[in-house]
Structure 1
Amino acid sequence: MARFYLLATVLCFIRRGSSKQADCFPSEWLKSVSVSVKISKAGFHRDLQYRVQWSSTDHDVQALLVQKLPSGVYMDAYQLETLRRDTGLEVLLDSEVDLEAPEYLSSGFTALVFLSGTHEAVVPVHGRYHRPSDSSKPVKVDIEPPRVLLRSDQCRTLGPGVRGVVVEAPCTVSNHSICSWMQILDLQGDAGVSLELPVGDSSLVLTVCAGTVLTAVLSCVYLLRKIWKHGSF
């Protein structure tokens, strides 16, 4: 629990001035950075596909995606831990997520997606059950675009003229230490995604209840007849 409180408090913006990082992340190079987000699969179980691109550079660059998610969807921390062991996917959630709660009893949260050694990641996301509606139309859940943070061990501060701000965030998915990351402003390809989820039709409540009760009564009558006919008393 302590790591969740630490993560929730460090995602703040701090502006700093220096000339060192301008050599690592010049404004012209930052213009080459772009991010794309796609959503695949259907139904309640989807995949968020992230891809960050930038032009070549002579030093290592690490990327971190800060993705805010609404109450209509959730990520499974147990599934993420399994994927971390099996595929190397690194995702850190800023709070505990109730996997069973419906949308109207849930709150949004933030996921940190670390792109260590790669520019791509596929993160599973799941839809929550929504409150029944009197229409058969599916509900639309909008997911805003992620913030893209960059860091390099050769760069410590943000230089003048760089179109970005410094953000304090965990250095790695282990969340044991805090590092300074640069969030890029005016990012190319900065667009969110959306998904549609089916909802229950509240106009069918009486029909479904009546059918359920009738089926239960007929089943009980059938079983009682069989027991009376073939049972031993």
Structure 2
Amino acid sequence: CAVLDVQAACQDATVTQELLKEGFHRDLLVRVELGAVGEHAGGCTVAARTRLPPGIYVDPYELASLQQHNLTKAVLIPDVIDVEAPEYLATNLLVLLYMEPDPGCSRCFRAALPVHGRYHRPAEESEEALVVLKSPEVLVCCCDNRLSAECWKPAEVEAPCSGKNVGPCQWYSITRKLAYEESILQVPVGLRQHSSLVCVVTLLATVLCSSLILAAVCKYGHFS
């Protein structure tokens, strides 16, 4: 790995995140600009560590497929996720998203990750639930080198430096607080006053479909 001369260079570091697409299924796009330190970061791994609230999750099967095709690289903690659980029964999810150099900027890195909104309880008034996604933490991992303590401090990360078990390597987090930025996911929810109507319609649809299936079985079925 390359040695990073980061004396005061981290003062220029910035991180931005954006939720693309609409509805329940979105793409989380994270961009990191390391300032002057990014010009010498070719031999180091850059990652964004973000904590997803219970209202949003990553599908581990979808992630495995994307990683198999080298479309993204991330580590989920925990790695076992109930994708069917509603928001009020789910827990936070820690994601370490490995980033790739941005071709349009020599000091920039970027990565995208598919995320999905969970089902929420019906609301009293609003037809949308707001899921707040806090700004990620920027991490840099270099092997066999120590970064300047002026800008970087060792960080405990439950993942290898390159996504594979190689070492010895050390993760570092930036000492200076970056500009705080939140993204908000708007998840459509039902209204409580519609609960009775939904139950009645669901019951009628179930009875109708069951009757049609039973009629078809009686008409076309062969009984011995």
Structure-2-length-normalised TM-score: 0.78
- Identity of matched residues, %: 30
Matching residue of 1:200: 190
- Could you tell me whether the CA contact under 8 Å between 1:33 and 1:187 is conserved in 2? no
Q: Distance in 1 between matches of 2:70 and 2:14?
A: 24
Q: What 5-or-longer segments of structure 1 have no aligned partner?
A: 1-20
Matching residue of 2:92: 108
**Are 2:116 and 1:98 aligned?**
no
Q: Distance in 2 between matches of 1:88 and 1:167?
A: 26
List aligned pairs for 1:1-233, cutoff 5 A: 24-27=5-8, 29-53=9-33, 54-55=35-36, 57-58=39-40, 60=42, 61-95=44-78, 96-118=80-102, 119-153=109-143, 155-159=145-149, 162-169=150-157, 170-175=160-165, 179-216=169-206
Q: Distance in 2 between matches of 1:138 and 1:198?
A: 4
- Could you tell me whether the CA contact under 8 Å between 2:128 and 2:189 is conserved in 1? yes
CA deviation after TM superposition for structure 1 residue 192, in Å: 2.1
Count matched residues.
209
The structure, 1 or 2, with the larger RCO (C-alpha pairs under 8 Å, 6+ apart) is 1
Residues 175 and 146 from structure 1, CA distance in 2 versus in 1: closer, same or farther, beyond 3 angstroms?
A: farther
CA deviation after TM superposition for structure 1 residue 150, in Å: 1.5
Question: SS in structure 2 opposite 1:64?
Answer: strand
CA deviation after TM superposition for structure 1 residue 70, in Å: 0.5
Q: Distance in 2 between matches of 1:24 and 1:191?
A: 27
Deviates further, 125-134 or 200-209:
200-209
CA deviation after TM superposition for structure 1 residue 187, in Å: 4.3
Could you give the per-residue CA deviations for residues 9-57 of structure 1, whole angstroms, max 9, x where no partner exists?
Answer: xxxxxxxxxxxx8x72211x11122111111111110011011113353
CA deviation after TM superposition for structure 1 residue 223, in Å: 8.3
Q: Distance in 1 between matches of 2:40 and 2:208?
A: 76
Question: SS in structure 1 opposite 2:49?
Answer: strand
Q: Distance in 2 between matches of 1:188 and 1:179?
A: 24
Structure 1 or 2, whichever has the larger Rg, is 1
- Could you tell me whether the CA contact under 8 Å between 2:7 and 2:148 is conserved in 1? no
Q: Distance in 1 between matches of 2:60 and 2:216?
A: 49
Could you give the per-residue CA deviations for residues 130-171 of structure 1, whole angstroms, max 9, x where no partner exists?
Answer: 112233420000011111012334622543xx1332113221
Structure-1-length-normalised TM-score: 0.76
Superposition CA RMSD, Å: 3.2
Q: Distance in 2 between matches of 1:226 and 1:145?
A: 56
